Structures are given as C-alpha cells and as structure tokens.
A and B are shown apart, each in its own frame.
Chain A
Amino acid sequence: MDLGTLGAGLGAGITVLGAGLGIGRLAAAALEALARQPEIAGDARTTMIIAAALIEGVALFSCVICMLLVVMK
C-alpha cells in the first residue's frame, strides 16, 4: 500500500460525502415540493432525476480519478 492508494481511498470517501449531501438535499427539496403540490409529481420526479444524474456525474468524475490513481501508479 503506497500513499497513492491511500489518497484514492480518501478521495473516494470524500466524494461520497459530497455526492450524498447533494443528492440528499435534492431529494429533501423534491419531497417538500411534492408535499406542498402533489399534482406536479411527474414533473418534479423527472427534474429530480436529471439533477441527481448531474450530481452523480460529477461524483463519478472524481471516482474515475481515484481509480486512475490506483490503476496507473
């Protein structure tokens, strides 16, 4: 185990923190919107999935970087 592997592991962990916070806040906001206005359920769900995919995309970028740290050392 070298420092690169340690960095990759830490990086993946911190990424998960950020992505989890982001998607959690997103889901909370969507749920509030749904509770207030149940008739927009379809629209809210689609928008939520798109936003979640964008957040996830950023998180996956950093996961790929972590993977490269391990694979290409």
Chain B
Amino acid sequence: MAGNNIYLNQSTEHGNYPSHTTNEAQANHPVENPAQGHGQLAPGDVFPTLLSNLGNHRQISFFNADISELPVIIYDSKVGFHAYSSSSSMVNQKLFTMHQDAHGHFHPPIRRAVDNQPVSLDLSVTSLIVFEWIAIIVVVFLFGWVGRKYKKNPTKAPSGFQNALESLVVYLRDEVVYPNVGSVKSAKTLLPYFIGLFCFILLCNIFGLIPGGHTATGAIAVTGALAITAYFVINITAIKEAGIGHWLKHLLGGAPIWLCWIMIPIEIISMFVKPFALTIRLFANMTAGHVVLLSLIGLIFFFRLSNGLGVGLAITPISVGFSIFMYILELLVAFLQAYIFTILTAVFVGLAIGEHAHEEEHAH
C-alpha cells in the first residue's frame, strides 16, 4: 500500500476543525494510529487525508517513523542547477522554499525564494523513484546471480531459486513472447526486454503491497515511461522486420490509396492509443486497488469520528475483513497486470510485424 503512514491529524493545509471527540475517548480507541492524539479531524476529512498518502513523498517512512529525507535536485532557468542532500537542507540554504506540514513533511511545489514562483524543473529523488531503483537492483542482482550460476556449470541441473527463475523465463518465452510476436528472429532479440519488463512491473506492484512500500506503477509518469518504451519497441521492430516502406504503407491499413485521407489519421491515432491504453490500464489498476483499500480502512475512522466509539468498534471487523479480501485480490492483480502489460506489448509487436507480412503477401 502506498504510504502506510496513515496520519489522521489535521495538517496545516486543512485549517482548524471543531473537535468532535474527547481526548479520553481517543486515548482508549484500540485501532487508532498513535499519531491521532495530536489533533482533531472532521469525519469528512478522513478520506482526503488517507488518499493524500497515495502520492509521491519527499521522505521514506515506515509507518509513522521517518527513516530518511530524500535528495532534492532542481534546475531553474533563473537560479541555475542546485542539488541538496535533503529537503530540510534545501530550506535551510534559503534559496528555495517548500511547504512543510505539521509533521515536518515537505510538499511540492518547490518555489524560488526571490519571487515565490515555482521552479522550472524539479528532478528530485522521491519515494517512488527509490522503490523503482530497488526493483531495478533486485532484478539485476537476481538475474546476474542466476546467470553466473549457469555460466559456471552449464551442465548442472538448476536448483533452488535458479529453478524458480528458470521456470518463469521459460514460461514467458514459450507462452508469452514466441507465440505472440510471431517472427522468431525478433522474438529472440526482444526476449530480454519482455522478461525485464515483466519482472520490473511485478516487483514494483508487489513493493506497493508490503508495509512501508510505495507503488511506483501507481504513478502515471512511470507507466507512461514504460508505454513510451513499448511504443518504440513496437515500431522499431516493425520497421526492422518489414522495412520503412512497408511500415509507411501500413499507415494505409490495406485500403485503396484514395482512402488515405481517412485511413492515415485513423492508423496514426491507433498507433498512439495502444501505448496510451497500456499506461492507463496499469496506472488505474494499481491506483484503484489502493483507493479501495484505504477507503475500507478509512470507514473505521469515519464511523468512529461521526458516530462514536461503539460504531467504530462494530465496523472494525467488517472493514478489516473486506480489507484482507481486497489485499489478496490486489496480490492477484499485481501478477495479472504485469502479465497483461507484457503479453499486450508482445501482441502489439506481433500485430505490427504481422500486418507487414500480410501486406507483403498481397504485393506478391
């Protein structure tokens, strides 16, 4: 779950709300976060506060403990290029300002101190980027380690973890890449890309489900970047396989030339809709699960703040039960979406190549 640090305190942005609860009742509530004691929250603000945890953060937290602040890298057309080891050191240098909430957490946008305008480019390392890096390191380390094992003694039967990775790779090769890409030559070239894609998305999805983790694939920038890569893979493979002439001809979609005024725009749109659909699908699937999960947990706090302790306690088992169900469903979705992203990219590559092969048949 992205951002497990579920604070139910009012943040400075929300202003002052009338207290609906007494402090004694708060102290006795068993399911409340320890941070609750600091402030009061109106029932209507439970969900916005919870959902604000889904986004990008400037620090790494584990539940309520902040582990470390993350580096800030800024490029600005007026002030120039600056890098700081953390948000607080940036604020201490007084060149830039950033909003800080009651817990000491920083919130973008970063502004120039001189004229209070947002900076041109904020390239900071954020929590999502950290978890992406962790996923990359794990993938590279695991496959490097297993690869070395194969190089050392190629004739020995695989054992332990090597076996698990081998069955994954063989499954992806035989069931996903080769049958869908079609052309054996391209499939062989693209196999490492598809395996990397699957493992990276899967790890990013699963990191979002462990406590303290963030879902990098729940950010549209990350899925967008993955889809842009897929776009280039699809089109470059098609051009390599069938040549630029056939690739341009495919823009006609096999229709006669006088239909070009309608076919070419449609084909160009369809070329861009495919990666766009990949982006939205992965992003929305990963985000929707977290939103439902946080909303179910939020029900406990909502009923406790609006209807009192008894109702809150009564709703807890139902809410926790549904949350566990959603969590297991999300585990399934994490695997399914990694699989779907990979297989759809393979299908699109196969379609792009296959259309050319088809046109070639017509030409002869």
Contacts and interface: CB of A to CB of B under 8 A. Distances in A.
B279 to A, nearest CB: 10
A40 interface: no
Point out which of B175, B281, B343, B344 has the most chain A C-beta atoms below 10 A from its C-beta: B281
A5 to B, nearest CB: 13
A54 B344 CA distance: 9
Main SS of chain A's interface residues? Answer: helix
A18 interface: no
Interface string B332-351: 00001001100110010000
B357 interface: no
Given A53-B281, A57-B280, A57-B281, A63 B343 contact: no
Interface in A38-72: 42, 46, 49-50, 53-54, 56-57, 60-61, 63-64
A50 B284 contact: no
A53 B340 CA distance: 7
Nearest to A58: B277
A42 B343 CA distance: 14
Interface residues of A, number: 12
B343 A50 contact: yes
Nearest to B276: A61
B340 A49 contact: yes
Contacts of B175: 42, 46
A4 B336 CA distance: 33
A57 B277 contact: yes
Contacts of A46: 175, 343
A17 B285 CA distance: 18
A63 B281 contact: no
A29 B347 CA distance: 21
B102 interface: no
B324 interface: no
Contacts of B339: 49
Contacts of A42: 175
A64 B281 CA distance: 10
25 contacts: A42-B175, A46-B175, A46-B343, A49-B336, A49-B339, A49-B340, A49-B343, A50-B340, A50-B344, A53-B340, A53-B344, A54-B277, A56-B281, A56-B285, A57-B277, A57-B280, A60-B281, A60-B284, A60-B285, A61-B277, A61-B280, A63-B284, A63-B288, A64-B280, A64-B284
Interface of B: 175, 277, 280-281, 284-285, 288, 336, 339-340, 343-344, 347
Given A57-B277, A63-B284, A64-B284, 6 more contacts: A49-B339, A50-B340, A50-B344, A56-B281, A60-B280, A61-B280
